[in-house]
Chain A
Amino acid sequence: MKKIFLWTILLIGLIQNSAVGQGPPITGDKPVMLGANTWLVKSLTEIRNTEGGTFAAAPLMVHYLPTANSLIGIHVPFVNTKFDGQESSQSLGDIALLAKYQFYRKDGMGKTFRLVAKTLQTVPTGNQLNLEGISMGLYQSYTGLIAGYESLKYGISNEIGYSLQPAGNMDELRYKLSFGLPLMKPSYPVKKVNLYFEYQSSWFVNMDEYLLLYAQGIQYAKGQFTIEAAIQFPLIQTSSEQRLERNYSIFLGSRYIF
């Protein structure tokens, strides 16, 4: 399992040169920040179809940049669960608190490289549904590092981190890689359409299980407003008695900055 994880990371790393990108990824995170005193309100609803049912999480996310190199945020998810053979139910999911700090920045003409430390603390406000990323009902602590290079011609965003679940057994070593393809020439005021190709590699350390996900997305932005959609499915997935195997997920999102 370890070997599959490491080989996958190496393979993904080798195809960096073919990457093009503009703007924030859909399922991945980004290093570039917008400037001090900026607010961002966004939502990214995930509708996840699994072998055991269909679940949806619609988080309301509010981010604020107190300085040009820091960000704090809160994510409040609303969850709809429908296990096979049961009625659907709605509940609050696990609320998460986010903080990011950009500790390195190198700017050039029309390009930038940035490094950001990130932490996401998830509190057990949701039901114990054992649905990672939707509702675990357990405290989780995630620490990660984001590295991103953005230029007018191409961009690439990497994130690596570890999620610790003290009272559970779904500790996770996670790696995300995002590429974007602009379909329009970069211009200002903002008006753009991007295609996104995003990977997520998850190794559930305690269970020794592995999941490699691929998401294909499209994003439209005009002015301060962005809408986006993606479909995600597993490329590699070890079978498990402890986790519901995923079939696919659909993401629908929007963002507004002010």
Chain B
Amino acid sequence: MKNLIIIIAVLSFSLNSNNVNAQSDRDQIEVQVDGLGCPFCAYGLEKKFKEFKGIKDVKIEMETGLFNFTYPSEKEMTLKQVESQVDKAGYTAVTTKITRADGTIEESKQNITELSDQSEIVAKDIFVAGNCGMCQARIEKTAKSVVGVVNAEWDKDNKMLTLEYDSSQTSIGEVSESIAKAGHDTKYSKAGEDVYNKLPGCCQYDRVQ
């Protein structure tokens, strides 16, 4: 009986190890996709990507257009392949991020922010009004599209945007202005009434006075 228990324990451990190893041998791919106006659109996107044998853990968020999946690391899917496949599916890849199994990250950029000797990276938090995951995707996408912005992350609970930017290329005011034009009030800029009214119902936050 004791031997049987030991054998079962060893077998269970090795199975779990294999599972963990299998997961750690997979790259994590995240794509922001524009054009997903309906659930069948999402089906078309997933179907197109299933042409890559080995794709798993597919998840598509309709509201934000975020498309996630994992892929065997040894097959080395590239950013270009991902963007090309989204295009073949009939949609637009806005940003793509691949987290490799070894932890390295490859990311496509919406803008070309090139750093130089004059670059001075500044980190600041600013208040940006919004409600939901769709707001988050819109705010971050808009901020990252400004040349000079290195990183932007918006927290939908405390409404704070953590911004990293090169102060020699852009400023807080410029980024705020851009976000306001997309429909979101910030500490420094107010969105126009017509832009605010065009936001989906779930995104129509309480206006900043």
Contacts and interface: CB of A to CB of B under 8 A. Distances in A.
Given A109-B134, A110-B63, A110-B134, A69 B90 contact: yes
B44 A155 contact: no
A35 interface: yes
Nearest to B67: A188
Contacts, number: 111
A152 B200 contact: yes
A224 B62 contact: no
Contacts of A67: 88
Contacts of B94: 109
Contacts of B6: none
Main secondary structure of the interface of A (DSSP, over half): loop
Task: Determine which residue in A102, A112, A153 has the highest number of CB atoms from chain B within 10 A of its CB, and name it.
Answer: A112
Contacts of B44: 33-35, 38
Contacts of B64: 109-110
Interface residues on A, range: 35 or more
B40 A190 contact: yes
Nearest to A184: B39
A66 to B, nearest CB: 11
A37 B41 CA distance: 14
Interface in B128-143: 134, 137-138, 141
Interface residues of B, number: 34
A22 B64 CA distance: 17
A184 to B, nearest CB: 10
A43 B138 CA distance: 39
24 contacts: A22-B38, A34-B43, A35-B48, A35-B90, A36-B89, A37-B48, A67-B88, A68-B87, A68-B90, A107-B35, A110-B37, A110-B134, A112-B37, A150-B38, A152-B37, A155-B38, A186-B38, A186-B39, A190-B39, A190-B40, A190-B42, A190-B43, A191-B39, A221-B39
Interface of B: 34-45, 47-48, 51, 60-65, 87-92, 94, 134, 137-138, 141, 200-201
